[in-house]
């Protein structure tokens, strides 16, 4: 059957400044937390490849924007690097950054592509990190200033703004796991960082509407319903808590303007409540997002904590543990489960629990290692697995829309192979191949397929 999507559906991709731009001598960019961490500990990064070059978008944006057209984009999301625009986080604006972003945004608009600009994709100016980062309220104030500067400078080119991408990730990875800087384990700090990030997001929503009351602004969350191992009471309870921590900690204040009561009660009971004021809670209450971005890669499978293990309320495994479900379908390169039904289930959750707020699927994709082995005789990568991955997820999205979900776009991760945090260039996600040595770009088979998908506003597949 032909899966026909609604009119004006957003087809395109998402990426981020830190993962694509790279740095060149004299560009005026300051160090971000990633630049700093790489200098301190390059061995943590796959093949010791750091964020310095990324996919050289800063130098090759003209070619890359042409590839957006070649792959059928009518929409594109990237992010401004705070450390490029304001190198020390709260001081002078870098005029070279202003010129660069204006030129890039103008070029994208000239191609008739909808532009969605995110303000923060895991990248804090190191000068602010050094002063305590998101544990310090001064960072919230600096972020609000940065956001306002972006709105004032770039609003005419931007169709929709985003405050943060996946704000729970730096909380989990930086303060509970150890794969983002500052790589510490401290639940009390994690909660404070999460709270200040939410406050910053709400302040950016307010600033955006002050600059242009009609402009839409979103937050992007990595959502999935939490699936319990079993129907046993303990597993169900664990899944409920996992959803509160992992999703609703940002979803509820961003969409409903309030934290879930049960989450607050758990934090209180465990002496984990952050410093806050009533005035701040009022700002959160009054500045909810206009729409939601949802990133979906893998489900969250949960089981009750193992009672035999000594756990401490300052670690999340005190409340729930990840469930390694036997027989699950995997992307072995990334180590993530592939579960298409998750899209449908989260669409229904948004519909039922979040008043069917307007949303866009802002990331979904498949990272694969060593794709060179899939070349055909012409040298093109035949990434049929990526096409199948996208189709499988789009079918579930289609069904959700048929059943009333208010989703109006699909943005793939991502249009060109890009640098990824600690994994650097291990897994490739692009519709376009990037040769790291020559910087040559080349369409993959999926790039051609994606153009057809966007041009036809749908695709043919077996039911």
**Of residues 200 and 221, the one with the C-beta less far from ligand BG6:** 221
**Of residues 218 and 238, the one with the C-beta less far from ligand BG6:** 218
Minimum Å gap between C-beta 45 and ligand BG6 is: 12
Site for ligand BG6 in 282-301 (CB under 6 A): 295
Q: Specify the stretch interacting with ligand BG6 by CB under 6 A; choose among 68-76, 83-91, 102-110, 413-421.
A: 413-421
**CB-based burial, 332-352: b 16+ in 10 Å, e otherwise:** ebbebbbbbebbbbbbbbbbe
Residue tagged active-site, from 144, 340, 363, 433: 363
37 binds ligand BG6, rule: CB under 6 A: no
**Of residues 136 and 423, the one with the C-beta less far from ligand BG6:** 423
Contact 32, 97 (CB under 8 A): no
Site for ligand BG6 in 161-190 (CB under 6 A): 165-166
Choosing from 105, 421, 425, 459, the residue that interacts with ligand BG6 (CB under 6 A) is: 421
Going from the C-alpha of 284 to that of each of 230, 254, 394, 437, the distances in angstroms are 36, 7, 33, 47
CA distance 173 to 327: 27
Q: Which of 152, 130, 147 is nearest to 79 (CA)?
A: 147
Mark whether 310 is an active-site residue. Answer: no
In this structure, the strands spanning 458-460 and 2-4 are: antiparallel
417 binds ligand BG6, rule: CB under 6 A: no
Mark whether 363 is an active-site residue. Answer: yes
The Cα diameter of the chain in Å comes to: 65
CA distance 199 to 203: 6
57 binds ligand BG6, rule: CB under 6 A: no
55 binds ligand BG6, rule: CB under 6 A: no
Choosing from 35, 64, 129, 363, the residue that interacts with ligand BG6 (CB under 6 A) is: 363
Q: Specify the stretch interacting with ligand BG6 by CB under 6 A; choose among 27-35, 66-74, 171-179, 420-428.
A: 420-428
Taking the CB of residue 140, how many other CB atoms lie within 10 A of it? 20
CA distance 17 to 79: 5
457 binds ligand BG6, rule: CB under 6 A: no
Minimum Å gap between C-beta 363 and ligand BG6 is: 6
Q: Specify the stretch interacting with ligand BG6 by CB under 6 A; choose among 56-64, 73-81, 129-137, 418-426.
A: 418-426
79 binds ligand BG6, rule: CB under 6 A: no
**Of residues 117 and 304, the one with the C-beta less far from ligand BG6:** 117
Indicate the burial class of 68 (C-beta count within 10 angstroms; 0-12, 13-18, 19 or more): buried
CA 149: distance to chain centroid?
Answer: 22
Site for ligand BG6 in 136-165 (CB under 6 A): 165
Which of the 8 DSSP states describes residue 245?
I
* Residue whose beta carbon is closest to ligand BG6: 420
CA distance 441 to 430: 10
Contact 83, 129 (CB under 8 A): no
Cis peptide leading into 414, omega within 30 of 0?
yes
Site for ligand BG6 in 247-286 (CB under 6 A): none
Q: Residues 206-245: x/- map of binding to ligand BG6 (CB under 6 A)?
A: ----------------x-----------------------
Q: Which residues bind ligand BG6 (CB under 6 A)?
A: 16, 19, 165-166, 222, 295, 334, 363, 367, 413, 420-421, 423, 427
Show which residues are catalytic.
166, 363
């Amino acid at each position: 059957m032909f899966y026909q999507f609604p009119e004006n559906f957003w087809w395109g991709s998402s990426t981020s400044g830190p993962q694509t731009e790279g740095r060149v001598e004299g560009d005026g960019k300051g160090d971000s937390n990633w630049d700093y961490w790489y200098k301190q500990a390059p061995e943590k990064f796959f093949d010791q490849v750091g964020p310095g070059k990324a996919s050289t978008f800063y130098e090759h944006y003209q070619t890359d924007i042409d590839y957006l057209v070649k792959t059928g984009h009518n929409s594109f999301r990237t992010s401004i690097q705070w450390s490029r625009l304001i190198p020390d986080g709260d001081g002078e604006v870098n005029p070279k950054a202003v010129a660069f972003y204006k030129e890039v945004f103008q070029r994208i608009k000239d191609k008739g592509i909808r532009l969605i600009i995110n303000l923060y994709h895991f990248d804090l100016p190191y000068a602010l990190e050094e002063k305590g980062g998101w544990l310090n309220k001064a960072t919230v104030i600096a972020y609000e200033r940065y956001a306002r500067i972006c709105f004032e400078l770039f609003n005419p080119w931007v169709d929709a703004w985003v405050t943060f991408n996946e704000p729970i990730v730096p909380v989990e990875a930086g303060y509970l796991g150890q794969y983002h800087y500052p790589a510490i384990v401290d639940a009390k700090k994690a909660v404070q960082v999460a709270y200040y990030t939410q406050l910053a997001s709400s302040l950016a929503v307010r600033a955006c509407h002050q600059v242009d009351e009609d402009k839409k602004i979103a937050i992007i969350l990595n959502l999935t319903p939490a699936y319990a191992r079993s129907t046993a009471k303990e597993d169900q309870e664990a899944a409920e808590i996992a959803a509160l921590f992992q999703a609703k900690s940002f979803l509820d204040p961003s969409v409903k303007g309030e934290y879930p009561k049960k989450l607050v009660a758990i934090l209180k009971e465990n002496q984990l409540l952050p410093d806050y004021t009533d005035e701040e809670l009022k700002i959160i209450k009054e500045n909810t997002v206009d729409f939601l971005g949802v990133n979906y890669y893998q489900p969250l499978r949960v089981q009750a904590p193992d009672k035999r293990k000594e756990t401490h309320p300052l670690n999340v495994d005190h409340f729930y543990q990840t469930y390694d479900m036997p027989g699950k379908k995997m992307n072995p390169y990334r180590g993530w489960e592939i579960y298409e039904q998750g899209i449908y289930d989260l669409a229904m959750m948004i519909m039922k629990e979040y008043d069917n707020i307007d949303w866009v699927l802002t990331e979904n994709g498949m990272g694969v290692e060593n794709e060179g082995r899939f070349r055909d005789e012409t040298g093109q990568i035949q990434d049929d697995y990526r096409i199948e991955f996208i189709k499988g997820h789009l079918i579930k999205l289609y069904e959700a829309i048929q059943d009333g979900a208010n989703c109006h776009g699909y943005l793939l991760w991502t249009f060109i192979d890009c640098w990824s945090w600690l994994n650097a260039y291990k897994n490739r996600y692009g519709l376009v191949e990037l040769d790291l040595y020559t910087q040559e770009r080349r369409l993959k088979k999926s790039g051609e397929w994606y153009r057809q998908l966007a041009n036809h506003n749908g695709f043919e597949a077996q039911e």
